[in-house]
């Protein structure tokens, strides 16, 4: 029996400098935990979030698990805990500079879901592009990857132009 032909016959993508450990595995140490990306999503995209609002936005998330994920994300430096100046009990969670570096990862998951799971994401079940759903916000959502995304779009447009 013959082996199936691979879909892409490109060269493997290997790093020029060898890794001591896989960076994806290291990143998933926190981001791969259940609810972590959804909690980070809420803090990153909705702004300062209270514990109660995070619970309300995520049906099925328990207070105990939310406490653990908030602690994990804080320890990793992705979010910070902010105590209200007037009310000490008014505690909010805010994205940090390091957390903003994770926003392009969340954006990639958003794009993947809109493209490949449109039947679950949109009422009309039609796939959408990021620019259709978040017009004018791609640079903020893609961060430093926005320049790369622009170059890829420009290159594709050149390839399509007769």
Q: Within the chain, what is the greatest distance between any pair of CA atoms?
A: 73
C-beta separation of 80 from 48 below 8 A:
no
Structural tokens at position 114: 């809109």
d(CA 56, CA 79): 19
| pLDDT bracket for residue 85 (50, 70, 90) | confident
Three-class secondary structure of residue 99 per DSSP: helix
- What confidence score (pLDDT) does residue 13 get? 81
On whether the CB atoms of residues 79 and 43 are closer than 8 A, the answer is yes
Instruction: Give 147's pLDDT tier (boundaries 50, 70, 90).
Output: low
Range 58-81 average pLDDT:
98
Instruction: Compute the distance between CA of residue 131 and CA of residue 7 in angstroms, rounded to an integer.
Output: 28
Report pLDDT digits (tens) over 111-127. Answer: 999 999 999 999 999 99
Q: What is the pTM of this model?
A: 0.80
Q: What is the CATH number of domain 24-101?
A: 1.10.10.10
Question: For the chain, what are the domain ranges?
Answer: 24-101, 102-162
Q: How would residue 89 be classed by pLDDT, with cut points 50, 70 and 90? A: confident
Cβ contacts of 14 within 8 Å, gap of 6 or more: none
User: What is the structure's pLDDT at 57?
Assistant: 96
Closest C-alpha to 41, from 28, 54, 24, 59? 54
What does the pLDDT read at residue 95? Answer: 97
Residue 46: pLDDT band with limits 50, 70, 90: very high
Q: Are 42 and 36 in contact (CB under 8 A)?
A: no
Query: Strand order in 49-50's β-sheet?
Result: 49-50, 91-95, 79-83
- pLDDT at residue 78 above 90? yes
Name the residue with higher pLDDT: 112 or 143. 112
pLDDT above 70 for 66: yes
Q: What is the mean pLDDT of residues 149-156?
A: 54
Q: Which residue has the higher pLDDT, 108 or 88?
A: 108
pLDDT, tens digit, for every residue of 125-140?
Answer: 999 998 899 888 888 8
């Amino acid at each position: 029996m013959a082996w199936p032909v691979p879909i892409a016959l490109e060269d493997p993508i290997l790093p020029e400098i060898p890794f001591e450990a896989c960076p994806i595995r290291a990143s998933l140490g926190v981001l791969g935990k259940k609810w972590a990306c959804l909690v980070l999503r809420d803090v990153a995209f909705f702004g300062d979030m209270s514990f109660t609002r995070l619970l309300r936005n995520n049906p099925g998330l328990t207070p105990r698990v939310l406490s653990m994920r908030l602690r994990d994300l804080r320890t990793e430096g992705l979010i910070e805990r902010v105590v209200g100046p007037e009310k000490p009990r008014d505690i909010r969670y805010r994205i940090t500079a390091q957390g903003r570096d994770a926003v392009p990862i969340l954006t990639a998951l958003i794009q993947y879901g809109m493209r490949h799971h449109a039947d679950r994401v949109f009422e009309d079940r039609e796939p959408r592009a990021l620019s259709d759903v978040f017009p004018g916000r791609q640079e903020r959502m893609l961060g430093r990857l926005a320049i790369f995304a622009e170059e890829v779009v420009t290159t594709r447009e050149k390839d399509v132009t007769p």
